[in-house]
Structure 1
Amino acid sequence: MGNTILIAEDEETLRFSLTQGLVAKGFHVMSAEKGKAAVSIIKNYVIDLVLLDLQLPDASGIEILSEIKKTDINLPVIIMTAHGDIKTSVAAMKKGAYDYILKPFELDEMIININKALEHQRLKEQVEHIRLQQKDDMNLSRIVAESSMMKDVVSLVEKVSQTPRTSVLIYGESGVGKEMIANLIHYKSSRASGPFIKVNCAAIPDTMLEAELFGYEKGAFTDARNSKKGLFELANGGTILLDEIGEMNINLQPKLLRIIEAQSYRRIGGTTDLNCDVRIIASTNKDIVSEVKKGDFREDLFYRLNVMPIYVPPLRERREDIPFLTSMFINQFNREFKKRVSGLSKEVESLLLSYPWPGNIRELKNVIERAMILAEDDTI
């Protein structure tokens, strides 16, 4: 289903031709020739983007823009303006308009602007969804630290949270909870209101990872039909977690090093330096020192990332945490599965405490989930 565009334009010929052109491109279109009518439509229908003329019969475009933003602050608005209104158009952008386009314009030019605005809005919503989801996860869970080893980890987290620019390298086996530690660092820091973005360096092909991280300009390569913001740009003011950092191609590592050292970078194909206010947290299950010795990881980048190393021990080395983790997972799945399991039998608890847990916390959680699904009474 196509996006719904609202055209607020009093010139009938332009309104009609624009409507016809957008419909032909697969958009749904609503229109209004007056500003107040446009605001009424926004209040009563789901609109994805507004094309707003600066000069409407009943109010100025700036006034209507203010009303639109009061109704839906996130609704993207593109201003349509004549040459003499450029200063007003710039003022409108300062008040929340996404962009402006000069009349007369070609339909294709407008389509490009619309698609860029919709893509920008989609990315904003995606980042906000991830941020809220991660924050919700932190509210629903906690770091279990009954063992002395995990108490040391939590102490380090508390300290590094107070220094919002310090790079952190979290290392440990798969499934020990490295991502949760990164979450905790972010949400205990002054960056908590900013985005938290996770990137799995092993899951994205080398040829795509640079574009995902740093973005690109239009025409930078064959398929770059429009410019695109990278994840570092979207994470600005917040934190980025580079999971599986040991898998990052060594040819890409100098660009990451530059971000840490200069706090700036360029998009692929770009000529302008972009400032980067992002805390970098990296995590790995590899021995990065060995990777450095083999020549597979840059030594200078390792030292820049390893300003605050945090080792998360495997579950077999902190068995005191197992009963508390188990209780946390039982409570979580009781809510999820609408069950009332109160705990473990002594036999099961003994088995859990003696098992080596090669998959660590992730494996323990999966075992408890499976047991909860199969449980027929109040004890596993």
Structure 2
Amino acid sequence: MTPALNSVIVVDDEPSIRSAVEQWLSLSGFTVQLFSRAEDCLAALPAHFPGVILSDVRMPGMGGLELLAQLQGRDPDLPVILLTGHGDVPMAVQAMRAGAYDFLEKPFSPEDLLGSIGRALEKRQLVLENMRLHQRVDLKDRLDASLLGVSPGMVQLRRQVLDLAQLPVNVLIRGETGSGKERVARCLHDFGPRADQQFVALNCAAIPEQLFEAELFGHESGAFTGAQGKRIGKLEYADGGTLFLDEVESLPLAQQAKLLRVLQEQKLERLGSNKSISVDLRIIAATKPDLLDEARAGRFREDLAYRLTVAPLRLPPLRDRREDIPLLFAHFARECAQRLGRKAPPTSAGQLANLLTHDWPGNVRELINAAERHALGLGDIEALPVSGGLSLAAQQEAFEAQCLRAALARHQGDIKAVLNELQLPRRTLNEKMQRHGLQRDAFIKDERA
């Protein structure tokens, strides 16, 4: 639950009123901001202000009614309490019809003021909580479309990504080649508060060691032979946003110490310069091996490993989430076919069996290649080598899960239609759906526009 709100903005041109109200509210535990002019309040007001506006009606320049109209245009749910003189009561009643939360006639008692503000804050808290819930649902829907899969591992991964995206912590993603580490890093950036800033990706294994420092920190003109002109490094370029360090285990030891200092001090120096530059960035790193194992072997700094591993994420290999293979294959084949303006060929039961029994050492990247070749009519799914370690029972389970999922998707969660198509008793279908982790709600078409 969101913590109770306690912020109040007071707008009144009379210093004595501002002082008295501030004293009453501060003694009652409220955080108070004072403004003598409505224009100043509007200029300083943040979006989705977590509190209440308390404003006099009659003020030089912009009055309380005009302020109310401006606030209504920005945020119709923001509670505004108007302070009125005796002759302004009819005007205040009219203002309440226009959207004011309440009005208090001067002189008012502290008890009346606190009661009105308390009720307004309760309303504001409910509005903001509802807004956050809707935003989270929207983010979840978008994330489901970015990180595809219905396996328990992918459901858990999406939940972790959604939570970590909002937190100002460094994340270390560990996974095999082709498992989607950069896609996950991009989601952590896109679904967080830095989404409108730079996402800068750097593959640490692709840069020669002698060029690494200049690439990461930048350089001034003439800093070394061939350094013509000033160059902004990746760390500085990512200021305000996210720096993604792929294959971070390949980072040279000398640069590890300098990167650690940047993370600790939030400052860097370009090559050839003595000037410190402040940076505000989030680091998302990706690795195949365990960084702490690398540290024990002397190939990686232990202190940097701990600094990067504030929040670890482990990506499951494709062979450990075989129930996602048909969904992913169909998605990527359809994507490729649409780009080419053609229809993706169907996948036969035999081809599906081969997809489910192949080990996919290249993970999702290999699957994308196979799906695109299939869409082009060039693939030979039957020729894929199958895993020797997958039992017949496991293959049957995977195939059954795919059949259930396909039927639920075709009928958009209509259980009666699925029962008729698959010719199953209701109890049997329920047991199978529970065993395969299938929820009817996940297949109901979302009618929201």
TM-score (norm 1): 0.61
Distance 1:336 1:312 in 2: 28
Q: What amino acid is the match of 2:330? A: S
| Residue number in structure 1 paired with 2:194 | 191
Q: Is the 8 A contact 2:333 2:374 kept in 1?
A: no
Q: What amino acid is the match of 1:156? A: Q
Distance 2:323 2:144 in 1: 22
Distance 1:186 1:139 in 2: 12
Matched, 1:289 2:300: no
Deviations 1:285-331 (A, max 9, x none): 12222211111100000000000000001000011111111121022
Matched, 1:372 2:375: yes
Per-residue deviation at 1:145?
Answer: 2.8
1:262 paired residue among 248, 262, 265: 265
Q: Is the 8 A contact 2:176 2:288 kept in 1?
A: yes
| Residue number in structure 2 paired with 1:91 | none
| Residue number in structure 1 paired with 2:171 | 168
Secondary structure at the aligned position of 2:286 is classed as: strand
What RMSD in Å do the two structures reach over aligned CA positions?
A: 1.7
Distance 1:338 1:140 in 2: 26
Q: What amino acid is the match of 2:195? A: A
Per-residue deviation at 1:153?
Answer: 1.0
Q: What amino acid is the match of 1:222? A: T
| Residue number in structure 1 paired with 2:42 | none
| Residue number in structure 2 paired with 1:154 | 158
2:278 paired residue among 266, 275, 280: 275
Instruction: Name stretches of at least 5 consecutive residues in structure 2 with no aligned partner.
Output: 1-141, 380-449
Distance 2:310 2:345 in 1: 43
The more displaced of 242-251 and 323-332 is: 323-332
Q: What amino acid is the match of 1:221? A: F
Deviations 1:206-252 (A, max 9, x none): 11111011101122111122121111111111111000000011111
* Structure (1 or 2) with the larger CA radius of gyration: 2
Distance 1:266 1:277 in 2: 14
Secondary structure at the aligned position of 1:281 is classed as: strand
Matched, 1:242 2:248: no
| Residue number in structure 2 paired with 1:54 | none
Q: What amino acid is the match of 2:148? A: V
Q: Is the 8 A contact 2:171 2:311 kept in 1?
A: yes
List 4+ stretches of structure 1 deviating above 3 A.
138-141
Deviations 1:39-77 (A, max 9, x none): xxxxxxxxxxxxxxxxxxxxxxxxxxxxxxxxxxxxxxx
Distance 1:226 1:282 in 2: 30
Q: Is the 8 A contact 2:291 2:300 kept in 1?
A: yes
Distance 1:357 1:344 in 2: 18
Distance 1:213 1:141 in 2: 33
Q: What amino acid is the match of 2:260? A: L
Distance 1:249 1:233 in 2: 19
Per-residue deviation at 1:338?
Answer: 1.3
Distance 1:310 1:155 in 2: 11
Distance 1:320 1:343 in 2: 18
Matched, 1:337 2:328: no
Secondary structure at the aligned position of 1:202 is classed as: helix
Per-residue deviation at 1:139?
Answer: 9.4
Select the structure with the greater relative contact order (CA < 8 A; seq sep ≥ 6): 1
Deviations 1:98-154 (A, max 9, x none): xxxxxxxxxxxxxxxxxxxxxxxxxxxxxxxxxxxxxxxx89962013111111111
Deviations 1:343-377 (A, max 9, x none): 3111111100011100000001101111211269x
Distance 2:147 2:345 in 1: 21
| Residue number in structure 1 paired with 2:317 | 314
Give the total of aligned pairs: 238
Distance 1:139 1:234 in 2: 26
Secondary structure at the aligned position of 1:174 is classed as: coil
Per-residue deviation at 1:336?
Answer: 1.3
Q: Percent identity?
A: 41
Map 1:104-119 → 2, pairs under 5 A: none
Distance 1:145 1:160 in 2: 19
Secondary structure at the aligned position of 2:178 is classed as: coil
Q: What amino acid is the match of 2:274? A: T
Q: What amino acid is the match of 1:199? A: L
Matched, 1:362 2:371: no
Matched, 1:303 2:314: no
| Residue number in structure 1 paired with 2:85 | none
TM-score (norm 2): 0.51
Distance 1:276 1:254 in 2: 17
Distance 1:183 1:331 in 2: 23
Distance 1:364 1:264 in 2: 42
Q: Is the 8 A contact 1:174 1:359 kept in 2?
A: yes
Q: Is the 8 A contact 2:143 2:158 kept in 1?
A: no
Matched, 1:228 2:228: no
Q: What amino acid is the match of 2:147? A: I
Instruction: Name stretches of at least 5 consecutive residues in structure 1 with no aligned partner.
Output: 1-137
